[in-house]
Each structure stands twice: as C-alpha cells, then as structure tokens.
Structure 1
C-alpha cells in the first residue's frame, strides 16, 4: 500500500490537498457557467467564450511554464498557484454582493484561474516522483485519481445544490476556500527537490521537451488523442448545460447530480488501475482502456427528456471506468520514461498539445449552440470524444512499446 512508501505523511498531505482542490474545482465546473447563464443571462456564444478563456492559458503559456517548473522548486509553485486562484474566485461573490458583477469580470477571473491551473498542473505532475518511488507510480497516481474522483462525484452535486440554495456566485466561495486550504496543506509537504539551473534561451529548452514527446512513439499518440479529447470536452462544456438546462429544463441540483455520473465510473477505474496494470502490463492496459473508451460514451447520444435522461449517467459512468484507467496508466508511463530534469517540460508539452485544443472546442461549441442548438453541440462533443481514442486504438504496437519501457 501507499503507507509502505517513503515519506508517507508527505504523500498523504499531497493527496488530501489534491482532493480538496478538486472538490472546489468541480463546484466551479457547475457554478461558473451557471453564473453566466442564470445570473448574467449569457447566450451560447458567451458561454463558449467563457469556456475558451478558462483554457486559453494552456495554449499561450503552457510551454514556457514547463521551463519555469524545471528551473524552480515545485512546492512553492503549487502553493502560490492555489493562493492566486483562491483570491481570484473570491472576487466573484464579492462583486455579486455589491451588484457590480459582469461578464468581463467572469472572463478575467476565468483567465487568472486558468493561468494558475497551468502552473499547478505541470508542477503537480512533476512533483509526485519526488515523493513516490518510480515502481509505485501507478499506485500513487491511482490514489490521487481516487481522491480526485471522490471530489468529482461529490462536487457537481454540491455545486448544483449550492447554486439552487444560495445562487451561483455564492457557490463559487467553495472553490475559493478549497484553494486556500490546499495551499495550507501543501506548505507542510517536504520532498528533496533539485531544481535545474537555467542557462539557455527559454525557447531552446521548450524545444527539448517537445522533441522528447515527438520522438517517443507512445507519448506522441497519446498527445494526438488527448488534443481531440480536450477539444470534445470544450464543445461539451457548452453544449451540455445548454441542452440540459435551457432546452430540457433540468434544474440546477439535478444538473449537478448528472454531472457527477462520470466520477462514479472514474472512481472504480482509479481503484482498479494498479491491479489491471500489474495483471496485463502498461501496454495492454493503455490499449485496452482506450479501445473501451472509444465506444462506451456513444450511447449518451440518445439522452433526452423523461426516462432517457438516465442514459447519460449510465454511459458517463461506464466511460469513466475506461478513461480513468487510461489516464492513470498514461501519466504513470510518462513519469517513468521521462528523465527527471525534463519532467516539467515534457508534462508542459503534453498539457500544451492536449489542453491547448480546449479553447477551440469551447468556441466551436458556442458557435454550434448558436447555430444548431444545445443538443447539436453536445452530440458533436460526444462523437469527437469517442473518436479521440482511435489515435491509440489504431496503433496496437503501443502494447509492446509501452510494456517494454
């Protein structure tokens, strides 16, 4: 178990900080678009812009962030990222209370939170190998994924209830507090870090990370599939609330519960990933989970009024099992094969290549929502999400390549 690892106390503080942050983040997944939709009467295109702004930082500063993470100690980066995001989110309920909240402020807050998330995510993935031995990365990442998915399971429901009970802007207080609590926990984590002194031009160091990803056949395929998946998520982030809330009349609390469904499956997948990888190896685990994820979410296309609403949580839960196993397996593989001095830049390169596509998905979802309605945007996102895993499924050689490493 994890308790057998060195620095077990530091790992568990790290894991608790991750879970608390993720709980607040999932409240925001519900509360931020509903703040725009219900409090400021935003339209489909404005929702698309909000979704894009949240992710544009991955596109703009994602690559240089990896260089900075490799040049500095990662724990302070994690703490400061939490503090900045917490303060930014606190401004929303304050502005709502004063009666001065506007869409431009929401865009600005989303941008600041996005910048903090870029640095936090890259540093977070790069910091774990300093706490957990390489041979236990699947187990460590699995525990982090379990805590994340417990938060994902509870967060949207809590967010939907909080929006219904207190209004959407006030619900964002939960995320602000979670970031501050996470920063406090991370301040107690101790790990041996060896920041690399930067003595070259930033763009040359950026290229080194990109070259590693491009030259590693498994990571290259995962990056392509991830870019398509994040594009699809950007489309769904607009289409789903439009379709469920605006077109089907689903209430805030019910919407939050529906959004929690994928976490049920993801929680199971995260708990199983260490055993699955030990039984089948990294390569077969990556390939098999990608193959399952390709088809398991497609039944969600039949979601509709009445009993057909139940199709969405069932499909999302099944998809969650496969996608969680795939996500933990690919991250553990990346952490294992990447030299320590390159971890920040390789993680940043993967985030840039994958998450940088999300703003395009948000804008596309907004345009589709304006043109064809919420269901069209939602359906397009579901189809692309299924197709995204074909980048791995069409390369069975990945089974051998990943297992060999």
Structure 2
C-alpha cells in the first residue's frame, strides 16, 4: 500500500494541527473529569448530593443553551468559536486553584465554574462538529472522526493516568492547572490552522427563534433523527448518574487512592482507543445505521459489574465493564457523528433521510 494511502488525512497540514489541538484539549478535559469531582470529594469533603449537583452543573449547559447554541454558532466562524471557548474554559478553571490557595474556595465556587465550563463546552462541541466537514470534506468524515476519536481515546488513557499521581502529589485543586494549560495550548494551536470559513452574512440569516424552530421541526420530522435524539437523551441521563456516583463509590466505598482511581479511568480510555481503531471497520461491515444502536446495546450491560465489586482485585475486573462501555460508546459516536455531519453538509435538505 502506498505511504500516501496509509497516511490519509494526516497528509493535510491543517488536519494534523486540529489533531494536535484535540489531543491537548482532550488531555485537559480528561484531567478535569477526574480532578474536579475530587476537589469536592477529597478537598471540600462534600456529601453525595453536592457531588451530584456539581455534575449536574457541568451538564446543565446543554439544557440552558443546547437549542440556541447551534443557531448562534451558525452565525460565526467555527474556528474562532473553538479558539475563544478553549481559552475562556482555561481561564475559568484556573480560578479554582487560585481560590484554593487564597482559602476562598467553596462548593458554590465549584458550581459556578462547572456551569460556565459546561456552557462553553456546548459551544465548543457544536463548532467542532460543524468545522470538521468544512476542513476535510464529506467523503473523509468517517476517517476524520475515527482519527480524532483515536486521539481522544489516547488522552482518555493518559489523562486519568497522569491526573491520579498529580492529585496525590499536589492535590486536586492544583491539578486543574494542568487542565487549564492543556486547553490554553489547544486554543493557541487552533489559531495556526489556515483554512477558515467565510464569515456568514447577518443579513442573509433568518431570525434566531426561527432557526431554532426550523431545527426542531427538521429533527422531529424524520424518524431516524428523532430516534437518535431520544436515544442520546436517555443514554446521557443515565451515564451522568452512573459516572457521578462512580467516583464517590471508588473513593469512599472501595477506598481507592487517586492513583488507583486514575488506573480505573485509564481502563475506560483503553476501551475507547480500541473502539476508535475498530469504528471504521465495524461501521462498514455492520452498517452505519445499525451500529448507532447496536454498539451500546451490546456493551452497556457489562457496567453492572462495578456495583458488585468489593475492595481488592474484583474492582479491577469490574473495570472491564467500563472499558466495554467506552468501546461501544466510541464506535457509536463515530458512526453517529459522521451520519449527522453528512446531513448537515451545505446543500443537504434531508430528502434522503429515512
């Protein structure tokens, strides 16, 4: 096989820079995933309800701005939105260690940062998904998503593995500085991407309320999109519940130290990496549509192993279920993202959607 064929999109300079920016940003995000709840659990000694509320604040962004975010981002250059939200998230996270050192940190401070971070992440994710088709073209979406998912999976392994010892050495609040640094470098690297979209003309855009209404009508009109939206809502609701109590369970019930918790979450990253490597092949063999529902249906039941675990070796065996969850989730998201991005390409009117 020619070297150019093996490299694929890696020959594209701008895609390589997006890949590197993704690695840095996701590394910071994976550290947040472990360190932010541990600030509440270990540093502030909060109860389970407060930890759950902290996670809810992180997820509340999608409820608050999920509908208008797409319409707002559609009026802006996607690359600029990615850069500005990366830098703003980095700044908000850096306030936590500063407040901790000044003895001002409270759970309400964490709630505020989590909410701001969650809202900014919604805008970043919308811009990121919308920018990729512009950068690589519709025909390369599955390859592009697979390579980006592989990078995210590698950081899912390295992030918690690095975060565990860091939390143990310098504490959870100071560890968030590493997250802030990763997102800052991600934003700065994205500035070097040369390919930019034309700025949308405000005069040619419909009213914001009308865009939201049209978007909802478009989703509701087609059974496939309705099923994806409903499935995502149910899956994410219960995933957030599971992950929120998982940290409390590992720290207080199992008695794991930050390093051990990091190893458990690194196992999830291994599953995600395997999923990214298999995603293109599985989508081609099974079909992009069936993969979207089949991947999670096959892998999610194994997460029941974790609540059955006890202190000792059984918790690491139970981590296989978490790795399976990540494997299925990545395969599903690669297929689903490619499907949605193809529908949102310029000139697509949805006529071919089932």
TM-score after normalising by structure 2: 0.92
Change (3 A) 1:334 1:54: same
Compute the displacement of 1:164 (Å): 0.5
The number of residue pairs the alignment matches comes to 348
Q: Secondary structure at the match of 2:322?
A: helix
Runs of 4+ aligned residues of structure 1 deviating over 6 Å after TM superposition are: none
Gaps of 5+ in 2: none
Separation in structure 2 between the aligned mates of residue 2 and residue 331 of structure 1, nearest angstrom? 23
**How far apart, in 1, do the equivalents of 2:291 and 2:86 lie?**
33
Which of 332, 336, 340 does residue 338 from structure 2 map onto? 332
Q: 2:277 matched to 1:265?
A: no
CA distance in 2, matches of 1:42, 1:169: 15
The answer for the alignment partner of 1:202 in structure 2 is: 208
1:218 corresponds to: 224
Q: Is the 8 A contact 1:297 1:316 kept in 2?
A: yes
2:62 and 2:161 mapped to 1: Cα distance?
27
Match 2:142 to one of 108, 115, 138: 138
The equivalent of 2:151 in structure 1 is 147
Identify the match of residue 68 of structure 2 among 54, 58, 64: 64
- Tell me by how many angstroms 1:189 deviates: 1.0
Aligned pairs for 1:231-270 (under 5 A) are 231-270=237-276
Give the aligned CA root-mean-square deviation in angstroms: 2.3
CA contact (8 A) 2:10 2:16 kept: no
> Is contact 2:83–2:188 with CA below 8 Å preserved after alignment?
yes
2:185 match: 181
Q: What is the deviation of 1:192?
A: 4.3
Q: 1:50 is matched with which residue?
A: 54
1:320, distance to aligned residue in structure 2 (A): 2.1
Taking the aligned partners of 2:169 and 2:300, their CA distance within structure 1 comes to 38
Structure 1 SS opposite 2:46: coil
> What secondary structure, in the 3-state scheme, does the structure 2 residue paired with 1:267 have?
helix
Looking at structure 2, the residues matched to 233 and 61 of structure 1 have their Cα atoms a distance apart, in angstroms, of 20
Please list every run of 5 or more consecutive structure 1 residues that lacks an aligned counterpart in the other structure.
Answer: 347-400
CA deviation after TM superposition for structure 1 residue 153, in Å:
0.8
Give SS of 1:172's match: helix
Deviates most, 276-285 or 151-160: 276-285
By how many angstroms is 1:137 displaced?
0.7
The aligned residue for residue 114 of structure 2 is 110
1:18 aligns with 2:16: no
Deviation readout 1:298-325 (Å, 9 max, x if unpaired) = 3334222222212321111122222211
Q: Select the structure with the greater relative contact order (CA < 8 A; seq sep ≥ 6).
A: 1
TM-score normalized with structure 1 length: 0.81
